[in-house]
Amino acid sequence: MASMKRASGILAITATIALLTGCATTSAPTPSATKTVPAKVYETAPLTGVKFEQGTNANLAGPSVACKVDNLDVARPQLNLNRTDIVFDEMVEGGLTRFVAVFHSDKPDAIGPVRSIRPMDPDIISMFGGIVCYSGGQLKFVKMMKATAVFNANETEEQGKGTFTRAKDREAPHNVIVNVAKLAAAHADLAAPNAIFTFAADAATSSAGATGAAVKSFRVYYPSALAEWVWDSKSGTWLRNQDGKLDTDKADGSTLSTINVVVMKVKVDHQYGHVPKDLVIGTGTATVFTGGKMVTATWSKTSQTAPIVLTDASGKVITLAPGRTWVELQPTESEGGKLKVTLAAVPTPAPTK
């Protein structure tokens, strides 16, 4: 009986093994799961048209910071102008110029030297919203700036916040330095700016790049200042000279450069005596330089908060190349401003037999 039970148990175990083995050999292999790589999503910097992979540039969600930057010879070289999105070159008293430097997609921890506000600044800066930073100014001009929806960061009112400092290697009043990153972070609830210009996919397909005349260099004359831009095909940028000297960035010694230059001819209001006001609300002629070429245009701005619109002779919107833009607010010829363009030499085709 014991031997029969052992035999029966062995048979049962053998049968079970056979059954399991059979299942293993007859079941179909499980196919490996196919991995799906999600497509990259991009967001566009509104003031430059440059695309960033979503989530890689936190600056885009925050406000822009527009700073009044000194352009006297004692203020040069300025700090971090090569990290701007847009720069406006405006005429001030004596026919000299001063900048409105707008930072958004890149926010340095030190820019300057920052100076005082001027009467045209509310009409320039209001279209960006965000923040304006400056160091004082005539009371009536300060009141004009504060009457806008832009947050005013004046040096006097920013004391103790760590946003404004005085550089030890510069003499006052040309030594005010602003921490743009810290200033923007303190007002992260403010909205990001809207686009001011329209951008093509690249320089070649921009309005000037596609149909413009080739340019070697051009000079923008103000009554007491001269901005010269020279095309550099190697870098694909316009390089800047100021008053006949190479214009550089104190941060790294690089030459000030830009992808686009827009020269807007503007009328000048003299109601404030020796302090001129560039009239940027209205319309006028413009010349747009992109990709080593130029096209003529008409500019228009319908209100203080409206963007600048550039159109060609047929009314079609002018497009720029993605990247930094400098805007030269040049007074009309009657106010002492003129534009001199040196066209690039066009090779003479070889004669055919």
Q: Mind listing the domains of the chain with CATH numbers? A: 43-343 (3.50.90.10)
Q: Tokens representing 333?
A: 């010829």
Residue 108 dihedral angles phi and psi, to the nearest 5°:
-70, 160
- What does pTM read for this prediction? 0.88
Kindly give, in sequence order, each residue whose CB lies less than 8 Å from that of residue 246, ignoring residues fewer than 6 positions away: 255
Residue-wise DSSP of 87-140: EEEEE-GGG-EEEEEEESS---S-BB-B----TTHHHHHTTT-SEEEE----HH
- The pLDDT tens digits of the residues spanning 152-171 come to 999 999 999 999 999 999 99
Q: Tokens representing 269?
A: 């209001």
pLDDT in the model for residue 32: 56
Distance between CA 274 and CA 56 in Å, rounded? 46
Q: Tell me the sheet residues that pair with 89.
A: 99, 328
- The pLDDT tens digits of the residues spanning 185-211 come to 999 999 999 999 999 999 999 999 999
- pLDDT band, very low/low/confident/very high, at 33 (cuts 50, 70, 90): low
Q: Which helix (H) or strand (E) holds 221?
A: strand 213-222
Kindly give, in sequence order, each residue whose CB lies less than 8 Å from that of residue 102, ignoring residues fewer than 6 positions away: 47, 64, 65, 66, 67, 84, 85, 86, 87, 88, 125, 128
Distance between CA 161 and CA 163 in Å, rounded? 5
Q: Which residue, among 40, 19, 48, has the nearest Cα to 258 in the 3D structure?
A: 48
